[in-house]
Structure formats: C-alpha cells, structure tokens
Structure 1
C-alpha cells in the first residue's frame, strides 16, 4: 500500500510552508487532538443528567471525570516512549480505534460500570493518541517556522477544545442528549481511520531499545497517585487522607523512579534529557500555563453562575470568547517566536496573561462587569496560547528524532497534570478563604494572576534554549 510522503520539504522548497500532503496529515492529527481535548470538559455540565439516567450516586459522579483524568495523565509518559519504540503511526491508529470503541460503549451505557469503563478507555486512548500525534508532527517537520506553526495550531485547538467541550456539552445535553457527547467521537474516529493510514508516514526507525518496564510501572503509578490525590483534594479538601496520602505516595514513587532511571542501561526517561534546561523548565512552564488558565475558566464559571446568575449554557457561551482568544494566540505565537524566540514568547505570554487576569480579582456582583470580563479573558486567552506554543516548541527543540515520542509525552503529561492540578487548588482557595463565595473568588483569581507572574519570572531566569546547529 502506498503512503503519501509527508516528510519535511528541503530548504530549497521553503521550510516555512506546508506541502499539500503535510496539510492533509496535519488536519488528521489536529482533528484527533482537538477531539480528545473536548473530552476533558464535555461531560462536566452533563454529570447530573448522566447520574439520573444511569443511577449514579451524587458522590460518585466525580469518578466520571476522575477516571478519565487518571488514565490520560497517568499513562501518557509510558505511551510516549512506546511511540518511540514500536511506532508512532501504529500507536496513533490503535489509540483512535480505542477512542471509537470506548466512546460507543459510553454512548450506549445503561449502568455505571460500563460508563466508568468507557471513560477509562477514553483516558487511555488520550494517553496513546496525543503524544503519538505530537511526535508525528515534530518528526514530520524540521525545527523552525513550519514546526512552530504546526505546534501553534495544535496548541490553539487543544486549548480551544477544553472551552468548546464545556459549551458543546451543555448544548448537546439541553438540545438532544448527553449520549451524543460520546457518539460524536465515534464519527470522528471512523473518519480519522479512513484517512490516516494513507497520509501518515512513520519515520524510519533504527535500533529499538528495550522498554524500561520498572521505570514505566513506577512513573505510571506515581502519576496516577498524584492526579488521584489532587482530584480528591478538590472534592474532600487538602486535609483529607485521600488527598495527601496519594500525593505523599506519588512523591515517594517519583524518587524511586529517578533512582531506577539512574541505574538501568536503557531508561524510560534518561536523566540527561530532563537535565536539558529547555526540556525541564519548558515543561514546568507548560504545567503552569495549563494550570492557571483552565482553573481560571472554573473560577469564572462559578462567578458567572453563582454570583451573576447566568445559566450553565449561557456561562459557557460567554467563556467561548476566551476560546476565540486561544485560537488567535495559537496563530500569532509562531510569528512572535519567529521574530524573537520561544523563551521570550513564554515570558511575554505569562506576563500579559497575568495583567489580563489581575482586574478580575476586583469583580463585583454587578452584571456591569460582563463587558470588561469578555475583554480581559479574550486578551488572557491569546497570551496563554502564546506561552503554551512557546513551551511546546522549547520542550521538543534539540531532542533527537528517536526521543521525540518521549519529549512529546512529557509535553502532554505537563498539560494533563496542569489541568488536573489547577482546578482543585483554585477551588480550595475560593471556598476556603472566606465565608462567602465572592471574596473567595477574588482571592483565588488574584493568586492565579500571581502564579502567572511567577511562572514568567522562573522561565526568564532558568530556561535556556539549545544552541542551533551551525
């Protein structure tokens, strides 16, 4: 079977432009990643309806979200390495098949057990597809403007997908049924599987090292424990044993993981890769970028519904302005990186995001705040995506092709842990700071802005870009 050549164009043909086959391949990869990003938030509004239809206890509803997040974050580093070892295209296609099957099961579910199994399947599919898709992009395109543009589009669609999921989930639940939040994925998966085998090309592999099984098991358990502890803290509080117990276990497992990786001949994550300042600090920047902005969406959702009295669907549509900002930011980021560099883009993105977030720390219970909120959230969305694209470019720069799956696995892990981390932390600050909600929201938003400032300062001081060859 003949595949379309999606290798990068030579410098003579102009590395800044995508070839026709590359555009088709990127469309397939971006569609898959956007769909998975939507899955992070599409069921949030629908949870009460799902609980009523399937017989979930109210206290158990959070497991519909948690089971997905645990698998998506916990297995992403493992599958990032699997992509390097056994083939990125193969892993991508297998993940899309799993996404389609698990989504069909979720849409047809009639009892809680099948629903939770479906969400686990979707989470594992996310951990398979996202790093595989990113590494296919980064190996298809050389470092430079074309890769930055591709990562900018991917970042824009991933961030926009998170906001779109909240809006789409409310619309589908109100207009048709929550089950269509699953059935849409089946349609997308079938479409991707029809096209992808013909347009994606695997980079020729050299010698494939053995999979570091002890490292893979240890880091997967560590990530699962970390996300479980953070998620529990968001529901039960940070003093609950179900929160700090798993977090302490995760810390111990990370120490064990580092010890294992320092001793095995072919480690899952070579310590020298993490010691690359662009990889290590780039991923810290990514984690903070996703943690701050996705948690701000949560805080503003509370503000719009609980303080200003808007419905869930209306609040979602209002926050769609932020989604538009993220798309624009993803388109602008490659230009900014091209004229400056990725480190400057990250720092500028964080500082502008902080400046746009800070006014929201002074919101009141008047609907007169709606227009200022729309303006500053739009600006903040643009800035946040500039930082996100900057970190994706930085964290994969200078990494050999045979380690790109691992590098993009780290990028994906930072994203997913950031999403899982931010909301529980901000929820605890908003609800624990004052006796009433509005002062708590103000305080949490102020801390969110301060976190963006601190992220920009840390990146400016510690992140260093690899030297370009020649």
Structure 2
C-alpha cells in the first residue's frame, strides 16, 4: 500500500516551513562537505596513522563505495518504513562515525568510520531529499527549496576542499571529522519537533530483498571498478572485472524486478521520460563539473604553481557561481519550464567550459579562469536544479524516496566516475611532467568535458520534448 501524508497547500514559506528547510539544508550541506573535506588532508592523515602511501585512496574509496552503493536501497526503505525515521537514524550514525574517525588511532578504525559515514550518507541524503519534496508542494515552493538545496550541495563540495585545508593547517586533520558532530546533534535535537513522519495508510509492503541485494552489490561493483580504473588505468584486469561484475548484477536486478510482485524499483517509473532522461541530465552535470574541478586543480598547481590551499580558495568563485545559479534556477524554471532550463544551463556550462581551452601557462590566465568557472557554475546549477525538479515531479508521495534515491545515486555515481575518466584522458595526452606538458594534456580533457555537456543538452532537447516542466 502506498504511503500517504499530509501535504501543505501554502504558496509562501511559513515560519515552520522555513525551519524545516534550514534543518534539511544544513544536513545536506554537511554531507556534501564530507565528500571533499579529507582530500587535502590525506597525506597528513597517512603520516599520522601510518597509512601506506598506496592505501591512502581507500580513505575516500571506502566512503564513496557505501555512499553510492546503498543509496537506492535506503531511498526505497525511506518510502516503506518512514523518511524521518531513516533521516534521524542516519544522522545519529554519522555523528558517532565522525566522532570515531576524529579519535581514530589506527588505519582500521579510521576506515571503519569512513564506511559508517558512507552508509549514513546513503541513508540521510535520499531521506532528506524526499522529506524536502514531500514537505513542499510541487510548484514554486518546491523549486525554490530544490534550488537552495542544489546550490548548497554544490557549494559544499567546494567548501569541503577549502575547509579541509584550513582545519588541517590551523588545528588538525581530526577536526575534519569533529566538525560534523555539533551540526548533526543540533539537527537531531530540533528536527523531531518540526519535521513530520510519513504515515502508512495500510499494510506495510514487503521489501524486495533479491532486488535490494543485486542492485546494491551491482552498484558497489561499478563504483569500485570506476575507482580502480582511476587508480590503475582502464586496462587493469581488476577494474574491468569489477565493472563487468557490476553490469552483470545490474542486469540480473532488471530481470528480478520484472518478476517480483512488489519490486524495489517499479520499472514503470524508469520508463517515465522525466525520470530516465532527467537523471541522465543530472549524471552529465555532476560528472562534468566535479571532474572539471579536478582538471583545474592540476592546472592551478602544476601549471601556475599554486599551493593546495591557494588552489582550493580559487574555487570559491565557482562556489559563488553555483549559489547564484541555485538562487536563479527557481525563477528560470517558473518562466521557461525545467526542460528549457536544463537546455539553457547546459549550453552556458558548455560554452564557458570550452572557453577554458584558451588558458595559458602564465598567471594572466587566472582571471579568465575565474570568470569562466563562475559562469559555468551558474549554468551547471541550472542543470542540477532542473534535473531534480524534472526527476521528482509528477510522482506520488509514496514514490518520492525512490525518486530521490535514484537522483542521489545519479549524483554520487557522476561524482565517482567523472574524475577517473577525465584523468585518463588528460594523463594519456601529457607528453611530460612540465607545465607546458601538463597543459597539453589538460586541453583534450577539457574539450571532451565540454562535448559531454553538449551531448547532455542534446538528450534533454530530444527526449524530453513535450515535457515543458511547468507546474
């Protein structure tokens, strides 16, 4: 039986809805920060805890595997057993895991904490997004909430890189973990009083265990394969084996879903153009922008000679662009619809990504870079908010956890796969290690990045035709 709950009918934000929005956005921003906050601190953590150099990447991989692999399962669990319950439970696990990570004295404890952080992220992100979409009615209020959410999540990735460097330099890498604890506790204290729980209107449906097992293992294998490809190259038998296993398990998942009475992912939802192609547009948006940050990090440090902290601070302009795009997106969607917003945002992102092909080896290129990343960030955020509105519109409340679980999975797989793909293109084209050689390798990767954005624009234009996206 579907889950039903009382939906607001207001067209303006009440004080209670403002508090709900603040709580949910604070949690989502914190989770976005966690994706990048440890990147700068990895060498220091390795020295402090005795991590072998070759195993440092597992600090990030352990988190990414769980965050991406379990998100679809937890999104559906939120629909079936209560979104607020899963949201609060995940935050409690995140607080405990963050405290354990900050106090860790051995690599094993730290990796266990990262696994728990990843699982908590897989639970809290779709549960929080589905609470957001069910707390705000479809239309201007939801678009405004999703615009702010998208802006803060993108800004969170940038903030994580900067904050990780600042905390590590001024205090200790342990504060990259500890900073989560007070935020999680504050949300846990206030949220039960202002966020309502979903109500089951009848007999609770059974969870599709075969589907849950195959899709979770399949996603874990795909993310592991992408990570190994980035570390060892796309010809690595380990990477190819993991990717092949993941694809096979996802095919088995599709076969299982056609036969079970109560599927984890009803295939009718995936056949909706708004869900399928909206998520594809989101995949392109996250894949291209996060991998572009990686490419520009190499440019700033290896070509222009910036320090890691200075390079991180330079991305503050990109963060400002994403916040601006998030604020503009609801108005743009209200005027031209989510489909045209996806197309317009993608065109802006592609144009200003292509403009980066003019970068040189002198610091005079910094100003064009900052201008292009600001404008590209605005375009990218228009796509991200348009994708979230498109992929969650026209669905019943009882399907919102599934819809936001799919959207979260799309986001996290895009973040995971973008960097290995663009890194392979860039390093394969580098004739050496000097500034000119690095720039020579980066330009083909930037060109491919812009081309992928244009392919996403084309997909939205062709396959979402007839879906105006207007409420």
> What TM-score do you get using the length of structure 1 for normalisation?
0.96
Partner residue, 2:269: 273
What displacement does 1:378 show?
A: 0.2
Check the 8 A contact 2:13/2:141 in 1, yes or no. Answer: yes
Map of 2:443 onto structure 1: 442
Decide which of 43, 51, 54 is 1:48's aligned counterpart.
43
Residue 3 (structure 1) aligns with: none
Q: What is the match of residue 209 of structure 2?
A: 213
Q: Does the Cα contact within 8 Å between 1:7 and 1:141 map onto a contact in 2?
A: no
| Counterpart selection for 1:397 from 386, 393, 397 | 393
Aligned residue in 1 for 2:127: 132
Match of 2:434 in 1: none
Deviation of residue 79 (structure 1)?
0.1
1:236 maps to: 232
Q: Secondary structure at the match of 2:51?
A: coil
Report deviation, 1:361.
1.8
In 2, the alpha carbon distance for the partners of 1:292 and 1:84 equals 30
Shift of the 463–107 alpha-carbon distance from structure 1 to 2, 3 Å rule, reads same
Aligned counterpart, 2:181 = 186
Distance (Å, rounded) in 1 between the aligned partners of 2:321 and 2:468: 32
Cα distance, 1:469 vs structure 2? 11
1:196 and 2:197 equivalent? no
Structure 2 stretches lacking a partner, 5+ long: 432-436
Decide whether aligned partners of structure 1 residues 468 and 240 sit closer, same or farther in structure 2, where only a CA change above 3 A counts.
closer
1:352 is aligned to 2:348: yes
Check whether the contact 1:397–1:466 (CA below 8 A) recurs between aligned residues.
no
Aligned partners of 2:341 and 2:382 also within 8 Å: yes
Give 2:457's aligned residue.
Answer: 456
Select the residue among 75, 78, 81 that pairs with 1:80: 75
Q: 1:412 aligns with which of 408, 426, 435?
A: 408
1:348-403 alpha-carbon deviations (Å, 9 max, x no partner):
11110000100112311111000000001000001100000000000001111111
Pick from 292, 317, 321: which aligns with 1:296?
292
Q: How many residues align?
A: 461
Is 2:424 the counterpart of 1:423?
no
- Tell me, yes or no, if the aligned pair for 1:139 and 1:203 is still in contact at 8 Å: no
Give the distance between the partners of 2:466 and 2:221, measured in 1 at CA.
Answer: 32
1: distance between equivalents of 2:217 and 2:13?
40
- Tell me the alpha carbon deviations over residues 247-298 of structure 1, each in whole angstroms, 9 at most, x when there is no partner: 1111111110000000000000011100000001111111110000000001
Query: 2:422 is paired with a residue of what secondary structure?
Result: helix
Deviation at 1:206, TM superposition (A): 2.1
Aligned residues of 2:336 and 2:470 also touching (Cα < 8 A):
no
* 1:384 and 2:385 matched: no
> 1:330 is matched with which residue: 323, 326, 330?
326
Q: Is the 8 A contact 1:289 1:387 kept in 2?
A: yes
**1:321 aligned to 2:317?**
yes
Matches for 1:357-376 after TM superposition, within 5 Å? 357-376=353-372
Gaps of 5+ in 1: 1-5
CA distance in structure 2 between the aligned counterparts of 1:112 and 1:52, rounded to whole angstroms: 11
- Residue number among 78, 83, 99 corresponding to 1:104 in the alignment: 99
Q: CA RMSD in A?
A: 1.4
Alpha-carbon distance between aligned partners in 1 of 2:38 and 2:385, rounded to the nearest angstrom: 26
Return the offset for 1:466.
5.7
Q: Give the match for residue 251 of structure 2.
A: 255
Match of 1:308 in 2: 304
TM-score w.r.t. length of structure 2: 0.96
Counterpart-to-counterpart distance in 2, 1:299 and 1:177: 27
Residues 464 and 83 (structure 1 numbering): CA distance in 2 closer, same or farther, change over 3 Å? farther
**Quick check: 1:31 aligned with 2:26?**
yes
Q: Does the 8 Å CA contact 2:87/2:124 hold for their aligned counterparts?
A: yes
Q: Per the alignment, in what secondary structure is the counterpart of residue 341 of structure 1?
A: helix
CA distance in 1, matches of 2:191, 2:252: 39
